[in-house]
Amino acid sequence: MTLPTPPRAGDLRVEAEKFANDWTNTVRAVVGAHVPPFVPVAKDTAVRAAVVVRQSGNDGIVLTVDSVPVLTLDASAHCIWDHRGSYLAVAESKFKVSAVGLASEPLFRYEFCRTPNRSPMAHLHVHAHRDAVTFVMTRCGGASKRGRRRLLDYDRGTKGNLPVMAHLHFPLGGSRFRPCLEDVLQMLTDEIGIDCLEGADQALADGREQWRRMQIAASVRDSPRTVVQMLETLGYSVTPPQGGHPPDRPEQMRSI
């Protein structure tokens, strides 16, 4: 596999279309060619160029067990240029898994936001109602903003009086090491046993490898000095560019 090279300026939609095609190919390799494709849709913003990758239509990806529809998977990604304006970056992504025929509330959600307000950048929401967890959440401490807000809501009797697990944000590796679409599909094939095509595992592994290679490349740009040090321990000779190494971006490694 060859790593992506910086595209020409102004080609964000073209890069987003490649991203959309990768998602389409992965999903179709798992559940079949009938799945509607993912498409890039330009997003109006006065701040920066942006394209949303989402599935055409609003039905989501219908997942079956023994040919009976059981789950739907909704996936979307908000794409922008990276901080140098050279590579496509995902500003936000959402993977939502819901049960067919039940209430609109999903079973769980994987979400990512590059510039979150309070929550971890990459996190998991579990929409379940377990008494033990609810008990703990009603006695949350005030040492964090979310804890204070949740405690205040409970004392006031707002938001349904009792907190639920769906309000918790489980961190999932931050910007660089978060789960990908392939990981969500792998979980559903392994744990739920959704119907999938022959070769699905290979397609998921291929897509996961491509995703992780891109994330490795992005991590290199976050901390080139660390990469140089490791390459030199492996016997490589590295010549820094004229003007020295680009500055590190420690915020990418420190934030959750």
pLDDT tens string 131-187: 666 666 665 666 667 777 766 766 665 555 566 777 788 888 888 899 999 999 999
220-223: long-range pairs with CB below 8 Å, 24+: 221/82, 221/84, 221/246, 221/249, 222/176, 222/248, 222/249, 222/252, 222/253, 223/248, 223/249, 223/250, 223/253
Note the pLDDT of residue 58: 74
pLDDT band of 106, cuts 50, 70, 90: confident
Query: Coil, helix or strand for 229?
Result: helix
163: exposed, middle or buried (C-beta count within 10 Å: 0-12, 13-18, 19+)?
Answer: buried
pTM for the predicted model, two decimal places: 0.79
